[in-house]
Structure 1
Amino acid sequence: MENRGSGLQPRNRPAIRRRYDGSRRAAAAAATRHRIVEAAAACFDELGYRRTTLVAVAERAGVSVESVSAAGPKRELMIAAFSLSFAGEETEGSLSTREPWASALRAPRERLADALAEVIVTGQARGIGLWRTLVAAVRDEPELEPHYAALAGRRRADNLVAVEVLHERGVLRQGVPVEEHADTVALLTGFDPYQLYVRDFGWTETALRAWTSRMFETLVLGEAVAGTVRISGGGARGGYSEGHERPAG
């Protein structure tokens, strides 16, 4: 039965506010950027730097040209694409703290050289194409030079971090300056060995892994003598603690 004439009015219910979930939008944006950088890597690898256009990247990624432009100018996409191809992800932080590099640096001593060689050659095989594209582009495109220099600086800093990890574990060969160890690691982790031995001389990647492992054993790894080398708390800056003489090279 209706209650007529009671004068009662229905209450206005408060509007239910939906909680804004920024994480979903951030995840979607990250996924779109990853797709764009992957597409850029494929275009740079196939077409080279000069012939790659933002339109080509957009078509390959299945997004608008505006989305590609928002992801960065072509020179920044080149650096991002190289980082993705070599490291498996975009990163400006130290690879030494990320997987699989972190696990390789912490592998048991008897498997340490092999673990490092496995990670290194895998990265070289994945990134050699874009590395060659990048080096060629730097020669022809002055706009890339500062980005290339910054990449080289991060690479050297990363090698110093890796050497510090090996030192802290007590497995760094003694009697060699820390900076020289870092530069040796730079040579072994760079793309020249892969280009020379695999691309030019026809070695298998298995053979290159074995060679890289032997080079780590011969040049970098050893049983540390406590107190011979001390790395300052500067982390990637490297250097020697005050009061400790730098060993002769």
Structure 2
Amino acid sequence: MNDPDRPRRRYVSPLRTAALEATHGRIIASARELFTTLGYQATTLAAIAEAAGVSVPRVNLSGTKAHLLVEAYQRSSGNEAVARPITDQSTFQQLMALPTEEALAAYVAWLADHHARSLRLWFALREAAALDPEATAAYETITTSDEQACVAGVAWAAERGLLRGDAPIEDRACSWYVVSSAEAYDRYVLRHGWTHEQYAAWVRRALDHLVFDLA
């Protein structure tokens, strides 16, 4: 006999959950493609819905336009979470534990791959930050995390005995930020025509001369 006072269990269908996740993934993939090719302002929710083969209300269930951009950037860049410091993420913890030269080689290779996958979305996010408060907050969180990662990188280099001279940590971290920036990758690879190997070699040399041996 059914007890009318007993709370009803909510049945969760694995098939329905999988279908919802697949639809959400398709929406994010469509958003990523449109933000990459058109930028933030020119991309509409209607265009995302059409590309994903869903309705605009269904797109709205996946999040705001700014949220879709931020999630697309996260997925493309490999970030585990926008609000989580990059040095706390598993990839970087494993990388920083490697022998020094192996760690630096792995870092510059990761950086080239990171920018190759997420550069256009980063520029779309920078554009969105001037237009949408939600995107502004995410942009500031990511840039702050990147700045903190550069400070952590300098501290790591100090522990490994790589630093020379008496330049302040803040100056070295600022140089690291510029060297590793999306703008530097855009200038050398997309505009100047360098290969990823040339770019990675430049980053490695730049770290030596502009961060580790900063006068």
AA aligned opposite 1:82: Y
- Is 1:103–2:72 an aligned residue pair? no
User: Partner residue of 1:60?
Assistant: 51
Identity %: 29
TM-score, with structure 2 as normaliser: 0.76
Aligned to 2:39: 48
Give the equivalent residue in structure 2 for 1:93: 84
* Other-structure match for 1:197: 188
In structure 2, the CA distance between the partners of 1:221 and 1:43, relative to structure 1 (3 Å rule), is same
Q: Is the 8 A contact 2:86 2:92 kept in 1?
A: yes
Gaps of 5+ in 2: 2-7
Deviation readout 1:192-232 (Å, 9 max, x if unpaired): 2211111221111110011111222334458xxxxxxxxxx
Q: Is 1:130 aligned with 2:121?
A: yes
CA gap of 1:24–1:217, structure 2 versus 1, over 3 A, is farther
Letter in 1 for 2:87: S
CA contact (8 A) 2:109 2:200 kept: yes
Change in CA separation of 1:61 and 1:163 when aligned onto 2, cut-off 3 Å: farther
Higher helix share: 2
TM (norm. structure 1) is 0.67
> 1:53: how far off?
1.4
RMSD: 3.5
Q: CA deviation at 1:133?
A: 2.7
Contact 1:105/1:112 (8 A) holds in 2: yes
Q: Which amino acid aligns with 2:163?
A: R
CA gap 1:29/1:173 in 2 versus in 1, 3 angstroms: farther
Compare CA radii of gyration and give the structure with the larger one: 1
Distance 1:94 1:88, change over 3 A: closer
Length, aligned pairs only: 209
Superposition deviation, residue 20 in structure 1: 5.3
- Cα distance in 2 for residues equivalent to 1:19 and 1:96: 39
* Corresponding residue to 2:160 among 165, 170, 175: 170
Amino acid aligned to 1:181: R
